[in-house]
Structure 1
Amino acid sequence: METNQEKKSGLGFISHIWNEWIATFVILSLLLLTLIIGTGEMIHGQMLRLGENLYGDPKTGMQYSFLRAEPETPTCDRNPNVDALVQQQMQSNAKDEFADIFGTSSQEDVRKSVLAGKKLCEDKYAFHDTATKYLDDHPSIRPYRTMETTFFGIFQFGSDNKAILLILMVVLAAITTTLKIHHIGLRSPSTRLDYRVYAVAMTAANALLTSSAISQYQSVVRSGVPMTTEMSVIYWLWMILFSVLTLISIYQFFIVPKSAKTGGNIGLSLLSVPLYAFMAIITGVAFTFFMDYPMGQGIYLGQLVEFSSIFLNLALFIWAGMLLKQTRIVDVFLNILRPWNLAPETLTWIILIGAALPTAYTGASGIFVIAAGAIIYKEVWNAGGRRQFALATAAMSGSLGVVLRPCLLIVVVASLNKEVTTDLLYHYGLYVFLITSTMFLLVSLFFAEQKFRIASPAEALPRSAKALLSVIPYVIVFLLVWMFYKYALNTNMNEFTAPVMMPIILLIMVLYEKLRHQPAPLAAVGHWDSTLAENTPEQIANQAHVSTEKVARDDNPNNPERQVSFWKAIHLSASETVGHIGALVILMALSVSVGGFLERIEIMELFPTDISSIYIVITLIVALMIFVGMIMDPFGAVILISATVAPVAYKYGIDPVHFWMITLIGFELGYVSPPVALNHLLARQSIGDEEVAAADAEVRHMSFYYRYERWILPLIVMFPAMLIIAYVPYMFKLFGWYQ
């Protein structure tokens, strides 16, 4: 939101230094430490095994585990006076009424015991002498031991302090997001009134959160319950965070960006308030003034601590998504399709199927929308698709893959519900994916102006085959990392290891591109990637309403802005990661607070418990899941549903796997449904407000459907799919869900 002029002075300069360097560097360090933690146990196990293979000696019985520290010199007496010790023990036994029971009353027994102790002492000295000599004879042991124990220390420190690492990451990211005015809202502020209303709401929200965090800390102190150092640090971090955010928001009320327009109206300004602020104000007012529960928000923020491993994995997935954005992977794969000149609807269907896998491997739908939404939008548009259709595609690009392995959301569901396993959910999730993707193809073809279009195979196949060769290096990188983990670390890629492996794979892919001096994608440096189109620069310029010279300059691989070094690419990805962690994780934290509020007012008690028809039960569940998806993020929603609705559904006889398939697809339908439509908001962040406004402007004269296609298309795809998934398995006992 800052202009270059604003960055040169005042808070703008401090904000720029903080955002681009301090927070980025620290959070990049924390992400790398999280990678070390995630893979540390595997690596450390292999280091111990390697140490044993290198330095273990079966002949002498010396093991590497004996040598991980300097041998301690024994303190026992090697040459004791045996007779004196025997007499001393006999005198002691005479006073011990239990000596007979343990068989130590006779002098012979006592002498045997003393001699055994002497031998044990001799063995200790012998081991010390042998180990010391062994270390001296093998000088490389000490350096290797230092490396191994140092790595173990870092890994162990991280494992013991995961919660602090997460909260510290959230603190830095949330401050950055607030300084950049990057929180997720229905629209971005643009006028002076927008910024003022935004700042007032943020001040109120953060003040309530500060008060709640302080109240929670004081409550724990007054209770007299011993507080660990870790929890004390976490409480202070929360109090510092929301206090700082309150001060920043107050400053932003008085200092409006110079780029802000004049005018505005209160209705649109309220739409500029971040969703997180709305949630904080609603729950803060309710807990503090109506429930006499001022520490409520602070307590529910503790869910982040309880599930720190999952949220750290989410941070890694966000980073993976931003690293994906720094590569040409999406573009390279799309090059295989471009020569066929497919109809926009057919091309979009293939893209969505292809996008399902990276969606699953980047943890959740929103992350992939942020990372690749702009590229997908431009590809569909340049293939001849309507802008509104392209916007709908971008918003849906992350929706289909959330039920596929190894999506993190499934892991959260399985961790909170012992009735289901990840294997079962992923298995039936594949059927859900097939249903939703097929529905998209049928609906998009129904509204297509040109049902089918394909280039001549004689022309397209050679070009497509040539493009396929460019994909091979990326496949090789993936296979090499996978093989390293599988064979060197004895670990396969699955839903538990993917958060660690994906950033490493993408880091190597970024390095590969930079070593080959490949230009960065224009989307990665803040421009449209005009190379995604088969159109000429003149056609692209006319479509984008920019000059032909600008298109030609951006399209030029030698453009200095596209010559990004490896370290610059890492910096850019980390900088974007900071903003998205701050926006997404803080939104999730407040979603949990909203869930806690709904739980405390016992809204789920309104769910009938005496319904005789299973169809009515399913209908109520479907409606509830869509509503929850409209107002909450997926992770917070899963926590709420697991504690409230799931037990009721199980009592009605709904199979747990079927229930969670309904829930997940209901969430995804909610994420593309007004009034919030989280995936549309994330797509807008990726694509840009100006492009979305241009898409709306060009269809103002058209019929209702085409004016609102970006909202309607996802609904008429996902809603029928929702009905099929909810009712058909029960009616026909499909997939064996009901016996």
Structure 2
Amino acid sequence: MYESVSRSRTLSDWLSSLPIALVLLLVIVLESSSMLHSRLLAIGGELWPEYHELRIPDQAPACQPDLNIDHELIELLANQQPDVDDELSLFDEEPVDPAVLRASLERSQEECQRRHAEYVSHQSQVTDGLQYYAAFEEGIAAIGDLGLNASRYILMTLLLVAAASATLLRDHIALRGIRTVRDLQVSSLAQMAGNALLLASSLAYRSMQEASGIVPDFQQYWIQWGWIIGFTVLTLISLLQYLRRPSGLVPGGTMGHALLCIPLYSWMALISGVFFILIGHLPAMTIYLGKMLDLSGLFINVGLYVWIGMLLKQTRMASLVFDLFRPWRLPPEMLAFLAIMVSALPTAYTGASGIYVISVGAVIYQELRRAGAQRRLALATTAMSGSMGVILNPCLLIVIIAALNKEVTTRELYGWGLWLFLLSASLFLVVSMVSRRASLSVSPVANAWPETVNTLKKLVPYALVIAVMVLWYRWGLNTALDEFSAPVILPAVMLAVVILDQWLRRRESSEREGNIIKDTELAVRHATGEASVHIGALLMLMALSICLGGVFDRGDVVSMLPEDLSSVWLTMALLVVILVLIGMIMDPYGAVILVTITLTGFAFNNGIDPLHFWMVTLIAFELSYFSPPVALNHLLTRQVVGDDEVDRGAVSGSFWQRYERFALPLLVMAVTLLLTAFVPLLFYA
């Protein structure tokens, strides 16, 4: 199941892996520094009770603690004498009470003496050790602040560098892989046109700002030039790929198949670019890319999660988890159900189906095939494994919904999400078991249990390393593993797991397969190179889906909807269709933002409960991931499994057998969506 790679370090290896590795490691260092800074403040407070005051160099108070109150009182009273020249004043000043003035001076002197005493006390506690500690703590704080200020640069660099890798390797997300010369020509021309439109938008945006007289600040200036340089490079890469003819491509090809090879992001760029040109606002594409940078932390996490999955792919941990079930000789359908259940939690942590399919989809597919599952069932399960858990705690997508919509809470969404997950998983089990072709017999417990125990023993070292790393963050940095800290903690955990895995392989070298990666550095380099391609493909799709959302926004599509349908059932039916269509052409993050802006008011005004609306939205998005013509999860499955393997799954037979990999997810999620959308209306419509 592991790919064989050369142990030599070529220039292409360095170009595809080193820049992305540096960017991702920089993110981890910057985010970890914020955790470390919080912990250092807590430790400083334990070592020096007044550390929060002592850490900042103090200056002596400017007031006089030994002030002569009698003398000061005489001067103040003299200054309070009425001005004899001010005879035209409409109001006479009230006489000053010396007793009140003396009391005020005494209180001021007491406060001054207290401040001086505090200053002397602080100075007596400031030691060389405290100063060194405070300097170190402030240095860590500065690193954390750098991370906050540089997040937009980091995302732009991650997006453009990874996109260049995906373009060079012809690995962007498309409906069909490149196989013929015409496929390459059409795909390269479309990418060149899409990238050129993005470049033109960046130049138009810069010209618009110069014409308006607005002087961009330092960050805006370099972000503008970053887009210009990045899209220029992507355009040139596409041009070179059009001019060059790599070996291995079949001569000829049809235009119909070639159009399917155009990456989805290129279609989105062409549609968005043409629309904004027609309305005379070409800079809008760059403006909407800026909205992506406003959520830089969220999209940087996408890259981190993909890297986590690629690191996991280099270990035997996923294979060992499936080895727990192998001795029981479960029917493939039952094993597919368990794969979906096991995948739910990591999907919830990643928060978007595409990330999980890209990360570990190949592992799931290979393990199901090893267990005897038909290709079509393995492909369907792989596609579904990445979306079933997006409605579970602690999915970040639900956090975004709750943040943008005060009508619902994360607790409500997570609570109902659990029930809907159990519903969809149960439907998957029922449908797959009804269409099964194998018996339901399993191995006797006496035969299967000993092998399961042996596999559990092999998993113990991995579990211990994971536990140690998570507890170190919890106790060492006072940071628990949750949806916010997972993107930073899990890469460190997986690096430790990779090191452990390679150490165990060296101990078992006599049993080692010939194609298993042995060297830790090679494993990390290979995982990072593979991650860079997937990061580029996914982030470009997300970026252009936001631009495509801008087309709906500027086109004022929501105004086409009637204000009052006078039927909650008709409203829900219309919403279901619209939500599925939106999910088919946009990534979930951009889709949630678009739905919040355009559809929530229409739904609520027509009697749809807010909690019900958002649960329907999430399930509709899940269904759209499997729906033609895009079927994003199937495209991602094809990308990680390979075109040849997917084509071998297209066998003859009944309609269900020929199209099971499409029909099974569609049937399960369509039934789930219909039940979610219309059954609750029976209780409150």
- TM-score, normalised via structure 2 length: 0.89
Count of residue pairs the alignment pairs up: 675
Q: Is residue 104–residue 110 contact of structure 1 (8 Å, CA) maintained in 2?
A: no
8 Å contact 2:194–2:266 — kept in the other structure? yes
Show the counterpart of 1:276: 265
The answer to whether the aligner puts 1:327 opposite 2:315 as a matched pair is yes
Distance in 1, Cα, partners of 2:590 & 2:30: 22
* Matching of residues 333-482 of structure 1 within 5 Å: 333-482=321-470
2:26 matched residue in structure 1: 30
Counterpart selection for 1:68 from 40, 43, 55: 55
Partners in 2 of 1:175 and 1:478 — Cα distance?
Answer: 34
2:680 is paired with a residue whose SS is helix
Most deviating of 81-90 and 279-288: 81-90
Change (3 A) 1:105 1:316: farther
1:562 is the counterpart of 2:517: yes
CA displacement at 1:46 relative to structure 2: 2.5
Q: 2:45 aligns with which of 39, 48, 52?
A: 52
Residue 651 of structure 1 aligns with which residue? Answer: 605
Deviation at 1:433, TM superposition (A): 0.7
Q: 1:624 to 1:112 in 2, by over 3 A?
A: closer
State whether residues 194 and 268 of structure 1, in contact with CA within 8 Å, keep that contact through their aligned partners in structure 2.
yes
For residues 11 and 361 of structure 2, what CA distance do their matches in structure 1 show?
A: 31
The sequence identity of aligned pairs, in percent, is 38
**C-alpha offsets along residues 25-58 of structure 1, whole Å, 9 cap, x if unaligned?**
3323333235326xx2x432331121121123xx
Deviation string, structure 1 residues 521-551 (Cα, Å, up to 9, x no partner): xxxxxxxxxxxxxxxxxxxxxxxxxxxxxxx
CA deviation after TM superposition for structure 1 residue 73, in Å: 6.2
1:116-515 aligned at under 5 Å gives the runs 130-136=121-127, 139-225=128-214, 227-288=216-277, 290-487=278-475, 489-515=477-503
Gaps of 5+ in 1: 57-62, 521-552
Letter in 1 for 2:546: V
Measured after TM superposition, the shift of residue 88 of structure 1 is 7.8
CA distance in 1, matches of 2:48, 2:188: 63
Whether the aligned pair in 2 keeps the contact of 1:196 and 1:256 (CA below 8 Å) is: no
Letter in 1 for 2:627: S
Deviations 1:196-229 (A, max 9, x none): 2122111110111111122223323333445333
- What is the deviation of 1:705? 2.7
Q: SS of 1:402's equivalent?
A: coil
Q: Does structure 2 conserve the Cα–Cα contact (< 8 Å) formed by 1:339 and 1:455?
A: yes
Aligned residue for 2:248, secondary structure, equals coil
Report how far residue 729 of structure 1 moved.
Answer: 2.0
**SS of structure 2 residue aligned to 1:400:** coil
Segments of structure 2 that go 5 or more residues without pairing to the other structure are: none
The C-alpha deviation readout for 1:485-517, integer Å capped at 9, x for no partner, is 555555544333333333333333333323434
Contact 1:314–1:363 at 8 Å: present in 2 too?
A: no
Q: Distance in 2 between matches of 1:314 and 1:647?
A: 30
Is residue 319–residue 367 contact of structure 2 (8 Å, CA) maintained in 1? no
Q: 2-side partners of 1:25 and 1:317: how far apart? A: 13
Assess, with a 3 A threshold, how the Cα gap between structure 1 residues 462 and 263 changes in structure 2: closer, same or farther: same
Matched to 1:723, the amino acid is L
Q: Quote the Cα distance in structure 2 between the aligned partners of 1:93 and 1:233.
A: 59
Contact 2:307 2:359 survives alignment (8 Å): no
Q: Is the 8 A contact 1:90 1:105 kept in 2?
A: no
Whichever residue aligns with residue 446 of structure 1, its letter is V
What amino acid is aligned across from residue 683 of structure 1 in structure 2?
Answer: T
Residue identity opposite 1:46 in structure 2? R
Q: Residue 562 of structure 1 aligns to a residue in which SS?
A: coil
1:146 maps to amino acid: A
Q: Distance in 2 between matches of 1:510 and 1:104?
A: 80
Q: Which segment drifts farther, 716-725 or 429-438?
A: 716-725
The secondary structure found in structure 2 opposite 1:260 is: coil
Alignment partner for residue 667 of structure 2, among 700, 703, 716?
Answer: 716
Which string of whole-angstrom CA distances, capped at 9 and with x for unpartnered residues, describes residues 356-401 of structure 1? Answer: 1121122221111112211221222232222122111111111211
* Residue 590 in structure 1 maps to residue 578 in structure 2: no
Q: Are positions 1:702 and 2:653 aligned together? A: yes
In 1, Cα distance between equivalents of 2:501 and 2:178: 37
Give 1:103 shift: 8.8
Question: Does 464-473 or 661-670 show the bigger shift?
Answer: 464-473
CA-based RMSD of the aligned residues comes to 3.3
Deviations 1:606-660 (A, max 9, x none): 3233323322222111112222222222111111111111221111111112111
Q: 1:71 to 1:605 in 2, by over 3 A?
A: closer
- The answer as to whether partners of 1:27 and 1:574 remain within 8 angstroms in 2 is no
**Contact 2:328–2:442 at 8 Å: present in 1 too?**
yes
Superposed displacement of residue 345, structure 1: 0.8
Kept after mapping to 2: 8 A contact 1:326/1:573: yes
1:15 is displaced (CA, Å) by 5.0
Cα separation, partners in 2 of 1:482 and 1:204, compared to 1, 3 Å = same
Offset of residue 454 of structure 1: 0.8
Q: 2: distance between equivalents of 1:486 and 1:439?
A: 38
Distance in 2 between residues matched to 1:16 and 1:254, nearest whole Å: 23
Moved more, 464-473 or 103-112: 103-112
Q: In structure 1, how many angstroms separate the alpha carbons of the residues matched to 2:93 and 2:47? A: 49
- Indicate how the Cα distance of structure 1 residues 418 and 672 shifts in structure 2: closer, same or farther if over 3 A, else same: same
Residue identity opposite 2:679 in structure 1: V
User: Which residue of the partner structure matches residue 575 of structure 1?
Assistant: 529
The 10-residue stretch of structure 1 (344-353 or 375-384) with the greater mean CA deviation from structure 2: 375-384
Structure number with higher relative contact order (C-alpha < 8 Å, ≥ 6 residues apart): 2
Say if 1:88 and 1:367 are closer, same or farther in 2 by CA, change over 3 A.
same
CA distance in 2, matches of 1:125, 1:626: 69
* CA distance in structure 1 between the partners assigned to 2:563 and 2:114 by the alignment: 72
The alpha-carbon deviation at position 727 of structure 1 amounts to: 1.4
Q: Which moved more, 1:645-654 or 1:176-185?
A: 176-185
Q: Secondary structure at the match of 2:324?
A: helix
Find the aligned partners of 1:212 and 1:102 in 2 and give their Cα distance: 69
Specify the code of the residue in structure 1 equivalent to 2:36. I
Identify if the C-alpha distance between structure 1 residues 406 and 503 changes in structure 2 by more than 3 Å, giving closer, same or farther. Answer: farther
